[in-house]
Amino acid sequence: MNKFTLGVEEEYMVIDPVTRELASHEQKIVEAAQKIYKDQVKAEMHQAVVEVGTGICRDTEQARKEIGQLRNTVAQLAGEEGFKIGAAGTHPFSHWEKQLITDHPRYSNIVNELQEAARSNLIFGLHVHVGFQSRELAIHIANQVRYFLPHVFALSTNSPFWEGRNTGYKSFRTKVFDKFPRTGIPDAFNSIEDYDNYVKLLIKTNCIDNAKKIWWDIRVHPFYETIEFRICDCPMLIDESMAITALFQALCVKLYKLRLQNLNFITYSRALINENKWRAARYGLDGNLIDFGKEMEVNCRNLILELLDFVDDVVDDLGSRNDINYIQKILETGTGADKQLAVYEQTLSYPAVVDYITSQTLINTV
- One-character DSSP codes across 240-273: HHHHHHHHHHHHHHHHHHHHHTT-------HHHH
Global confidence as pTM: 0.97
In a domain, 366, yes or no: no
How many structural domains are present in the chain? 1
pLDDT at residue 214 in the model: 95
Residue type, 277: K
Containing domain of residue 96, as a range?
Answer: 6-360
**What would the pLDDT profile of 255-302 be if each residue is shown by its tens digit?**
999 999 999 888 999 999 999 999 999 999 999 999 999 999 999 999
Q: Is beta strand 84-86 parallel, antiparallel or unpaired with respect to 218-220?
A: unpaired
> Using 50, 70 and 90 to split pLDDT, how confident is the model at 240?
very high
> Using 50, 70 and 90 to split pLDDT, how confident is the model at 97?
confident
Residue among 85, 80, 72 at smallest CA distance from 11 = 85
In a domain, 234, yes or no: yes
In a domain, 280, yes or no: yes
pLDDT at residue 299 in the model: 97
Q: 135-145 and 238-260 helices cross at what angle (nearest 10)?
A: 110
Yes or no: say if 48 and 92 are a contact pair by the CB < 8 Å rule: no
In a domain, 340, yes or no: yes
Mean pLDDT of 112-134: 94
pLDDT at residue 264 in the model: 85
Residue type, 323: D
In a domain, 365, yes or no: no
Kindly report the CA angle at 187 between 231 and 113, in degrees rounded to 5? 65
How far is 48 from 171, CA to CA, in rounded Å? 20
> Using 50, 70 and 90 to split pLDDT, how confident is the model at 33?
very high
Residue among 248, 270, 283 at smallest CA distance from 171 = 283
In a domain, 197, yes or no: yes
> Using 50, 70 and 90 to split pLDDT, how confident is the model at 223?
confident
pLDDT at residue 78 in the model: 97
Higher pLDDT, 46 or 10: 10
In a domain, 224, yes or no: yes
pLDDT at residue 366 in the model: 85
> Using 50, 70 and 90 to split pLDDT, how confident is the model at 117?
confident
How far is 153 from 284, CA to CA, in rounded Å? 8
Cβ neighbours of residue 190 under 8 Å, at least 6 residues apart? none
Assign residue 184 the CATH number of its domain.
Answer: 3.30.590.20
Q: Is the pLDDT of residue 1 over 50?
A: no
Q: Is the pLDDT of residue 2 over 70?
A: no
How many angstroms separate the first and last alpha carbons of the chain?
Answer: 26
Mean pLDDT for the chain?
95
Q: Is the pLDDT of residue 47 over 80?
A: yes
In a domain, 1, yes or no: no
Mean pLDDT of 91-100: 92
pLDDT at residue 105 in the model: 81
> Using 50, 70 and 90 to split pLDDT, how confident is the model at 45?
confident
